[in-house]
């Protein structure tokens, strides 16, 4: 057994720039080009360009200061609201949305997104539009009844969950409880997108080891069904990253909708 208990993302926090350097940068040694850049940008592009995911509000609960998957949502939602459990992460995101000096350079992701759409000359314009579309970056506390208290956010037409629940849930039962809480943010009939690693137990950021709940494909499928969601797409892909920063074996991309009660 690991003699040192793993830290928890929402309790201890991690250094957001170290996270981005390791998991989202354009550095040649960045191991997650497929899992954190190319693949999610493509999958989110495919989903949103289908025209079936659209509305007024998209709420995104994604690990760290990631924004690269949201370019595809620009034409389909009026407001994008980011929920984060860490002050440090919020500061990092707002540096980028406010175009401050020292903000993380996401130009490699906007270039990928525009190339996905067949246009290589509008990447800078796409970044500007995403900054404008992100209307709020709000801290949430998973232990509160109203997660964003004292702020009340509107219910979403689409809810995106990327790995945050994996990092803030103690075990699988806690994962279900936490999913139940965030799913209240979604309107009946609203669309859900889940993306993230499977069968992972830890994540290393800045040399510190953080807990991740060991979620598998069958458990995720059954949970969604039991919680009143209809799965519309479920895709599992083997990992390509060669690294010891995280011990996942595959990634899942899942879409579903929340059944409306009669």
Which residues face 231 on adjacent strands?
256
Q: pTM of the full predicted structure? A: 0.94
State mean pLDDT over 176-200: 97
Model confidence band, residue 206 (pLDDT cutoffs 50, 70, 90): very high
pLDDT of 172: 97
**Quick one: which of 133, 142, 10 has its CA closest to 81?**
133
Say which residues have a Cβ less than 8 Å from residue 7's Cβ, sequence separation at least 6: 14, 208, 209, 210, 211
> Mind listing the pLDDT tens digit for each residue in 56-75?
999 999 999 999 999 999 99
> Mind listing the pLDDT tens digit for each residue in 2-39?
444 688 888 777 889 999 999 999 999 999 999 999 99
Model confidence band, residue 120 (pLDDT cutoffs 50, 70, 90): low
Retrieve residue 46's tokens.
């495919």
Q: What is the CATH number of domain 9-258?
A: 3.40.50.150
pLDDT of 3: 46
**Quick one: which of 215, 190, 187, 188 has its CA closest to 201?**
215
């Amino acid at each position: 057994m690991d003699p040192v208990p793993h830290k928890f993302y929402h309790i201890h926090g991690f250094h957001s720039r170290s996270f981005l350097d390791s998991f989202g940068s354009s550095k040649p040694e960045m191991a997650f080009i497929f899992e954190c850049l190319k693949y999610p940008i493509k999958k989110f592009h495919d989903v949103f360009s289908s025209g079936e995911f659209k509305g007024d509000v998209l709420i995104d609960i994604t690990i760290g200061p990631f924004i690269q998957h949201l370019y595809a949502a620009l034409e389909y939602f009026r407001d994008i609201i980011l929920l984060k459990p860490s002050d440090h992460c919020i500061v990092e995101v707002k540096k980028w949305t406010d175009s401050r000096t020292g903000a993380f350079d996401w130009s490699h992701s906007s270039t990928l997104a525009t190339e996905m759409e067949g246009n290589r000359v509008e990447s800078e314009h796409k970044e500007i539009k995403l900054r404008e579309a992100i209307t709020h970056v709000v801290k949430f506390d998973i232990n509160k009844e109203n997660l964003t208290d004292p702020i009340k956010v509107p219910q979403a037409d689409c809810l995106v969950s990327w790995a945050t629940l994996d990092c803030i849930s103690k075990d699988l039962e806690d994962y279900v409880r936490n999913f139940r809480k965030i799913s209240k943010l979604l309107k009946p009939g609203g669309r859900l997108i889940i993306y993230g690693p499977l069968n992972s137990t830890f994540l290393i950021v800045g040399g510190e080891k953080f807990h991740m709940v060991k979620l598998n494909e069958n458990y995720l499928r059954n949970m969604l069904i039991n919680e009143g969601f209809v799965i519309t797409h479920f895709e599992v892909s083997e990992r390509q990253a060669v690294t010891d920063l995280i011990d996942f074996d595959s990634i899942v991309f899942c879409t579903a909708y929340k059944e409306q009660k009669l």
